[in-house]
Amino acid sequence: MAKLVISLAQMNIALGDVRKNVAVMEKWVVEAARRGSHLIVFPELWSTGCAWEESKELASALNSGIFNEMSAAAAQNKVCIAGSVMEKRGLEVANSAAFFAPNGRMLGVYRKMHLFRLMDEDKWLQPGQSPLSMDLPWGNTAMAICYDLRFPELFRKYAVDGAKMMIVPAEWPLARLEHWRALVIARAIENQCYMVACNAAGEIGDTPFAGHSMVVDPWGKIIIEGGDTPQLLTAEIELDVVDEVRQRIPVFEDRRPELY
């Protein structure tokens, strides 16, 4: 499968209101499937927002709670679903991006490795310890979350390991919109891959979030970009473009990691 239809669910997350957010998720998965999407991506912490003080009550263990809701939506609509939620891990909570296949099976979970101190994430959550890339029908696909965008070495590792597409759920504030746009585009260009970045939009608690969810191709061309309000974006991409770009400008062959 070289052609891939992707939807980005640019939500205005209801802070701490799992039931309300799940209702939006279910509605948008149905619509994404109606549009012929193979994959729908939700923002970072889409089911809760940054409701840190309630994190232990709102978090779900793997294979329960919110993870089961995502699995059921994937299976009922025969579509892949990705997005990050609060995961209960023993006494700790992680910011975990799960990826579900169209049969509802969870193919992987990435736990955010770089926690964002400016919003106190590090005080409430446990950082992840390992990257995640998956061999999917359309090609190797990697996961990262929001603040990870500022750490290019993670994305370079993914690209060197063969990733053709990188999925980034985010809650990126409006105050740094230009950073968001520049970093998503840069990660696509320097790694010659597709970037699929889904951000939250509008006021969540006291913070306005930037929206501008994007799919960017390996040349750095924006295939689709949202505005600053909630919306479901849908675009078709061609994964074979990755191989063409990498052959045309052989960046990975020209690297000299032994020198730096």
| Residue 44 appears among annotated catalytic residues | yes
Catalytic option among 50, 80, 146, 193:
146
Query: What pLDDT sits at residue 2?
Result: 75
Residue range 109-166, pLDDT digits in tens = 999 999 999 999 999 999 999 999 999 999 999 999 999 999 999 999 999 999 999 9
User: Do 170 and 142 contact (CB within 8 A), yes or no?
Assistant: no
Candidates 1.10.3720.10, 3.20.20.60, 3.60.110.10, 3.30.230.70; CATH matching 3-252: 3.60.110.10
Residue type, 167: I
- How confident is the model over 189-222, as pLDDT tens digits? 999 999 999 999 999 999 999 999 999 999 999 9
pTM over 0.85: yes
Catalytic choice (112, 121, 164, 198): 112
pLDDT value of position 1:
60
Task: Tell me whether residue 146 is one of the annotated catalytic residues.
Answer: yes
What does the pLDDT look like over 28-77, one tens digit per residue? 999 999 999 999 999 999 999 999 999 999 999 999 999 999 999 999 99
Give domain limits for the chain: 3-252
